[in-house]
Amino acid sequence: MRFFKYILVGGVAAIVDIGLFSLLTQVENFHWFPVSIASFCIATLVNYYLSITHVFQSGSRFQKHHEVLLVFIISGIALILNQFILYFLIEKADWNLIVAKISATGLVFFFNYFGRKKIVFKVINLSE
């Protein structure tokens, strides 16, 4: 159940990420690299808030400031993965920006979920 809740939360964050990325690269013509960093960071904030209100129990394993730090460390690693995937797909494979962003977001989703589940948040009910 927890994974399906995270899929919904991740979906909302992905809409924010891909939506901002699309707006700023396609409409405003900003370069994809810094836009991807900004949209990813904003989506991470959305994801964290929705995760602690709907998926994971905040403060169950670590004090709040440690929890936030760990989330952003995991997200920082995910951002590096995201940027590497985007660089390869856009610059080397010549994929469409939006298709590349959707692909990178989908791949990084699993890293984020399992990193948060295993490292940051205590799983209260093992059946979830």
The answer to whether residue 51 scores a pLDDT higher than 80 is yes
DSSP letters of the chain?
-HHHHHHHHHHHHHHHHHHHHHIIIIIS---HHHHHHHHHHHHHHHHHHHHHHHTS-TTSSS-HHHHHHHHHHHHHHHHHHHHHHHIIIIIIS---HHHHHHHHHHHHHHHHHHHIIIIIS--S-TT-
- Given this model, what pLDDT does residue 24 score? 98
* Percentage of the residues of the chain whose pLDDT score is greater than 70: 95
Which pLDDT tens digit goes with each residue over 57-79?
Answer: 888 788 888 988 998 899 999 99
Mean predicted lDDT score pLDDT of the chain: 91
pTM of the model: 0.88
